[in-house]
C-alpha cells in the first residue's frame, strides 16, 4: 500500500440505459475534485441528469499523453480524481490505460467503481460459454486486416468477443464466414440495455442473413461473440459426416480420437457428439 491518500477512481457509467448508473458512481463523481471525461459535453448531459456539478477536464485518446502528467501531479497533491468514458467502463476500448499504468507506477491509489460494460453484458446473455473468453477490442476497419484477425483466432477454443460498428457489421460477418466457416456459431448483441436491444444467435450465416434482411437490424451498437473452436467444430457438418462414417467402421472411442487428431479440440467433445449422432440414427 502507498502512503498517499488521493485516489484515481475508474468509474463505469451506463451503456445506454441511465437506470444502470450505480449509487456509488454518483457518490464518487460528486465527491471528487475533478472528473476526467472523454467528451466533456457528452459528460455534462449525464452529470446533469444525476445532479453532479463537479468540474470536468477533457481526457481522450488525442490528449492523454499531454494531460497525464498534470493529472498525476494533481493526484500527488492530494486531489481525488475520477475518470469516466462516454459509456461503460473506462479503458475498455476507451482511453485511460497509460494514466492508470503511470498512477500505479507512482504508487498512487487507483480504485475501480464497477458498472456497465458492453462486452460483459453481451456475454452474460449470449448463451455462449463464459468460463474462458477473450476480448479482442474493435476489429480492424479494412477487410484484409479483419480477415487476418479472424484467421489468427480460428483455432481458439475460448469464446471470442469483439466490438464492431454498425456500418461494418455485415462485411465483418462476411469475413468471418470466409475465415471460420458459415457454420460457426455466433451471438451478436445489439443496442444492449436500450429500447431496441436484440440478440441474434445461430450459425454466422443465419445471423448475417437476419441482420442483412432489414436496415433496422444494422442500426446501433454491436458486440460480436464467436463460439470457440471446440464448441463449434464438433457441430460442423463436415465433422458430423466424419464421425458418422467412422463410427460405423471403428469404435466410437477410436472415431472420436481420430476426429480430435484431425480437426483439433477435445476428444471428449467428439465422443459426446458421436454418441448423440448414434442415438439420432434411424
Please report, as ranges, the residues that interact with ligand SAM according to CB under 6 A.
15-16, 85, 87-89, 92-94, 117-119, 163-165, 189, 191-194, 221-223
Instruction: Give CA–CA dist 204/68, Å, rounded.
Output: 42
CB of 18 to ligand SAM, least distance (A): 12
Of 102 and 221, nearer to ligand SAM (C-beta) is 221
Min dist. Cβ of residue 262 to ligand SAM (A): 36
DSSP code string of the chain: --S---EEEEE-B-SS-GGG--HHHHHHHHHSSEEEESSHHHHHHHHHHTT----EEE--TTTHHHHHHHHHHHHHTT--EEEE-SSBSTTSSSS-HHHHHHHHHTT-EEEEE----HHHHHHHTT-S--SSEEEEEEPPSSHHHHHHHHHHHTT--SEEEEEE-GGGHHHHHHHHHHHH-TT-EEEEEESTTSTT-EEEEEEHHHHHHHHHT-GGGG-S-EEEEE--HHHHHTTSHHHHHHHHHHHHHS-HHHHHHHHHHHH-S-HHHHHHHHHHHHHH--
> Among all residues, whose Cβ is closest to ligand SAM?
88
- Residue 128 or 259 having the CB closest to ligand SAM: 128
- To ligand SAM, the closest distance from the beta carbon of 189 in angstroms equals 5
- Minimum CB separation of residue 191 from ligand SAM in Å reads 5
Nearer to ligand SAM, 92 or 255 (CB): 92
Nearer to ligand SAM, 190 or 240 (CB): 190
| CA dist., res. 204 & res. 181, Å (int) | 8
Strand pairing partners for 84? 37
Name the minimum Å distance from CB 137 to ligand SAM.
Answer: 8
Q: Nearest distance from residue 96's CB to ligand SAM, in Å?
A: 10
Distance of closest approach, residue 165 Cβ to ligand SAM, in angstroms: 6
Rank residues 21 and 243 by Cβ distance to ligand SAM and give the closer one. 21
Measured from the CB atom, the residue of 164 and 175 that comes closer to ligand SAM is 164
Query: Whose Cβ is closer to ligand SAM: residue 30's or residue 219's?
Result: 219
Q: Which residue do the cell numbers 465422443 mark?
A: 271
Amino acid at each position: 500500500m502507498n502512503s498517499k491518500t488521493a485516489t484515481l477512481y475508474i468509474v463505469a457509467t451506463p451503456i445506454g440505459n441511465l437506470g444502470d448508473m450505480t449509487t456509488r458512481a454518483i457518490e464518487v463523481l460528486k465527491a471528487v475534485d475533478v472528473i476526467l471525461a472523454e467528451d466533456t459535453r457528452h459528460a455534462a448531459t449525464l452529470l446533469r441528469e444525476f445532479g453532479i456539478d463537479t468540474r470536468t477536464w477533457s481526457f481522450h485518446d488525442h490528449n492523454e499523453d499531454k494531460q497525464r502528467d498534470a493529472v498525476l501531479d494533481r493526484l500527488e497533491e492530494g486531489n481525488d480524481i475520477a475518470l469516466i468514458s462516454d459509456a461503460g467502463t473506462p479503458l475498455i476500448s476507451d482511453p485511460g490505460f497509460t494514466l492508470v499504468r503511470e498512477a500505479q507506477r507512482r504508487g498512487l491509489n487507483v480504485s475501480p467503481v464497477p458498472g456497465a460494460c458492453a462486452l460483459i453484458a453481451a456475454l452474460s446473455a449470449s448463451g455462449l460459454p463464459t468460463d474462458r473468453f477473450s476480448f479482442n477490442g474493435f476489429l480492424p476497419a479494412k477487410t484484409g486486416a479483419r480477415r487476418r484477425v479472424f484467421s489468427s483466432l480460428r483455432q481458439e477454443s475460448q469464446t471470442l468477443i469483439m466490438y464492431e460498428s454498425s456500418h461494418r457489421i455485415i462485411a465483418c460477418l462476411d469475413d468471418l464466414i470466409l475465415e471460420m466457416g458459415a457454420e460457426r456459431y455466433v451471438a451478436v448483441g445489439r443496442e444492449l440495455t436500450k429500447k431496441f436491444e436484440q440478440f441474434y444467435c445461430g450459425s454466422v450465416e443465419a445471423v448475417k442473413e437476419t441482420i442483412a434482411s432489414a436496415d433496422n437490424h444494422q442500426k446501433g451498437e454491436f458486440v460480436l461473440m464467436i463460439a470457440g473452436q471446440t464448441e463449434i467444430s464438433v457441430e460442423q457438418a463436415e465433422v458430423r459426416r466424419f464421425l458418422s462414417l467412422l463410427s460405423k467402421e471403428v469404435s466410437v472411442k477410436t472415431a472420436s480420437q481420430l476426429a480430435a487428431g484431425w480437426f483439433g479440440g477435445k476428444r471428449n467433445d467428439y465422443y459426446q457428439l458421436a454418441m448423440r449422432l448414434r442415438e439420432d440414427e434411424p
